[in-house]
Chain A
Amino acid sequence: MAFGTISNVRKVFPVAELGLRAKEPVVALDDASFIFERGELVALLGPSGCGKTTLLRIVAGLLSKTSGSVRIDGREVDGPMGDYGFVFQSPSLMPWRSVIDNVLFPMEILKRNDKAARARAVELLELVGLSGFHKARPHQLSGGMQQRVALCRALIHKPNLLLMDEPFGALDELTRMEMNDLLLRIRKETGASVLFVTHSIGEAVYLADKVIVFSRRPARVSKEIAVALPYPRSQTTRFTPAFMAAERAASEALGIVPHAEAAAS
């Protein structure tokens, strides 16, 4: 059985939850189904407001679903599970904590903040290249560095699933590429499964084993693209025919370019 099974997930926000001006319920997610295996990196790709973030929050147990089923590692998700890592678009660090204490925050909540946790925090910070910054405050770091800390925080409790909501969307192009390579390295070392929300086609193809393309609202899965590129990938991978083919397939699914067959006929 697959590690993760998302089947026919639907989310409707009723009028009562939408504030005073809403007149009709909003269908944020119409019908999402896909599966993924342990250790796979799956990119959820789609236009802004297509419900991919909603799906991520449902998988995290932060949001209830209207219907459908989400099973991760054999368990039906029906609330926070406590063993996922979450990375937001903004680093969302706590300004009152030092870098290392930010990383250790999940361990405090889980009441496992012991010596081993500290050692792991030190290790993780080293892995992302922030060895000398344990005692620094978040405001002393650049945006990219802050997001590295957020990544460590998401990994500290050895989650079996990493949920990432456009984590590098606010970074500049070069930093973003760096962070992509860092994520691939971390994935290799930790073996974590990753669900990665993005609206960048290049990023989705570069990172993922599999790209799930969402259509515009009401969002449904419009296509699943297996990315046939071997790991380890590097920035030169971006210029290979296989990479461009995958990018083209994703663009077609998004309706940005016409389908190859249609164009030929």
Chain B
Amino acid sequence: MNARAVFTQLAYPVAGLALIVGLWALACRLGNLPTVVLPSPDKVFYAFIDKLPLLLVEGWVTLKETLYGFLLALALGLPMAVAVANSRTLNLMFYPLLVALQSVPKVALAPIVLVWLGTGLESKLAIAWLVAFFPIIVDTAAGLRATPKELVELARSLNASRTQVLIKVQLPAALPFVITGAKVAMTLAVIGAVIGEFIGGDTGLGQRILVASGNQRTDLAFAAILMLSLLGILLFTLVALAEKILCPWYDKS
């Protein structure tokens, strides 16, 4: 990308953001809204700076819950997807089930998970895992099944073993699908962790939002939401970066 393209890609979103924040500030001033209802952008910004150490500590907690849940989903989802995609029996038994389970609102299980695992890191991690797991396994299985038939036949015509076909053909071919699943999973994992924090425990950004709202510190709640958004963007960018490194061919072909 040349400098001009970079400028265009950056300038327009920044202008859009500035416009919205400007309208928000204007609405606060003209509408004479109390801070408890809608704090103006500068108050949110002030709260963000003022409470930055607290937000960072709580953000770190949420980050860990999200990341562990996501990594666990990846570690369990990939081998299970391989099993489902390569075994006709397992596929017939579980694939329809997985697709059906994907539409179950997993966060509805959160209170039960808290009963099982307590209010510490484990339960938040488990909820994050639960919501992140399905997109990873479903997308990976879809990717493995979408491997071009010719490539598998080519390998087979050379007497390749099943392991060779899996490692040299199927997994690389499925990688873009895995990453697509991972992007969705990462976004969902953040939501899962925050839901877990809403329901129980006393740490994390979710808990901070809850407490600040309860104390009528809407500005602080907004600041925590801002931190949460930054966290989400950071994690998503990490996956997008992994995509650039692992499958640089993908968006061009």
Contacts and interface: CB of A to CB of B under 8 A. Distances in A.
Nearest to B175: A96
A62 B172 contact: no
A109 B249 contact: no
A109 B253 contact: no
Contacts of B252: 137, 139
B158 A60 contact: no
13 contacts: A60-B157, A62-B153, A80-B157, A81-B159, A82-B157, A88-B150, A95-B249, A105-B168, A108-B168, A109-B155, A109-B158, A109-B160, A137-B252
Contacts of A137: 249, 252-253
B247 interface: yes
A95 B253 contact: yes
B57 interface: no
B253 A90 contact: no
Interface string A93-133: 01110000000011011100000000000000000000000
Given A108-B168, A137-B249, A92 B157 contact: no
A4 interface: no
A92 B148 contact: yes
Scoring B148, B157, B169, B253 by chain A CB atoms within 10 A of each residue's CB, the highest score goes to B157
Q: How large is the interface on A (under 10, 10 to 19, 20 to 34, 35 or more residues)?
A: 20 to 34
Contact of A92 (B151, B156, B172): B151
A109 B159 CA distance: 8
Nearest to A92: B150
B253 A62 contact: no
A138 interface: yes
Given A86-B154, A94-B173, A109-B160, 11 more contacts: A60-B157, A80-B157, A82-B157, A86-B157, A88-B150, A96-B247, A109-B158, A137-B252, A138-B249, A139-B249, A157-B158
Contacts of A94: 151, 169, 172-173
A61 interface: yes
Contacts of B173: 94, 96
B89 interface: no
B168 A86 contact: no
Interface in B150-194: 150-151, 153-160, 164, 168-169, 172-173, 175
A36 interface: no
A62 B172 CA distance: 22
B151 A62 contact: no
Nearest to B250: A95
B153 A109 contact: no
B51 to A, nearest CB: 46
Contacts of A95: 249-250, 253
Contacts of B175: 96
Nearest to B251: A139
A152 to B, nearest CB: 13
A168 interface: no
Contacts of B154: 86, 88, 92, 105-106
Contacts of A157: 158
A138 B164 contact: no
A106 B153 contact: no
Given A109-B164, A139-B253, A96 B156 contact: no
Interface in B62-82: none
A84 interface: yes
Nearest to A110: B158
Scoring A60, A92, A106, A109 by chain B CB atoms within 10 A of each residue's CB, the highest score goes to A109
